[in-house]
A and B are shown apart, each in its own frame.
Chain A
């Protein structure tokens, strides 16, 4: 279920914020929907997504059912050397996933 895409620019300028794009395939099931038999479909949300660059935190997102399914996120990070961007998340059903991208600083 954790199909995703993570993109960073091919090259980033040193100490300059660069755009990070992330889209995750996930139903973000609210827990309010009813199935054909009238029973509530189990809530399954990604409640937290954490992005780190070279081990330091970039962005921590606390999410609710108010975020759409298969959500897209666009935010910024800043690097001053070549390093790795890691995004991690877990959903209510216990599925844990992480996405990685190499950040190359232009000289």
Chain B
């Protein structure tokens, strides 16, 4: 016959084993792994071969300049795919280069919903991949401005 203490000790075990160790995850950051897998078909993506330039510190997340480019020596680029994991729509933009492109480079301005690390994936015409990341610290105005107009 088990005494009450032993019973309680055993009763607690399933509860403990059901809880995984707490992960160091940011609940607000999407897992862009599946999005990238859709692009690459699960094939490995090398770091490098594509350059991404973005300011390390953005005073306003509403308009952050970003430049992405691939050196001609790396080969012909099919497309570039830009991800911002903390944005509500993490795949910010995709750029498909056509026969009259001449250079795989694009500069634009993006919106960032908070501090995060940008990721760009390059798809080459030969089926290979490249990638780059860039962390951006995003702050907001100290004084709230709720004027709709």
Contact = CB atoms under 8 A, between A and B. Distances in A.
Interface of A: 16-18, 30, 32, 35-36, 52-54, 56-69, 71-79
Contacts, number: 107
Contact of B148 (A35, A56, A75): A35
Contact of B101 (A36, A69, A74, A77): A77
Given A32-B88, A56-B98, A62 B93 contact: yes
Contacts of B109: 67-68, 71-72
Given A17-B103, A76-B103, 6 more contacts: A32-B88, A67-B111, A69-B62, A75-B106, A76-B101, A76-B105
Contacts of A78: 100-103
B43 interface: no
The 9 A-B residue pairs with the shortest CB-CB distance, nearest first, are: A57-B98, A78-B102, A66-B92, A17-B102, A76-B103, A74-B107, A17-B103, A62-B94, A53-B100
8 contacts: A52-B98, A58-B100, A59-B96, A60-B95, A60-B98, A66-B112, A72-B109, A73-B108
Given A66-B111, A68-B63, A71-B109, A77 B92 contact: no
Nearest to B65: A72
A101 to B, nearest CB: 14
A102 B105 CA distance: 22
Q: How large is the interface on B (under 10, 10 to 19, 20 to 34, 35 or more residues)?
A: 20 to 34
B73 to A, nearest CB: 14
Interface in B23-67: 62-64, 67
Contacts of A60: 95-96, 98
B38 to A, nearest CB: 14
B99 interface: yes
Interface of B: 62-64, 67, 82, 84, 87-89, 91-103, 105-112, 148
B100 to A, nearest CB: 4
Contacts of B105: 75-76
Contact of A52 (B93, B97, B100): B100
A67 B108 contact: yes
B103 A66 contact: no
Contacts of A32: 88
A49 to B, nearest CB: 10
A61 B62 contact: no
Nearest to B91: A64
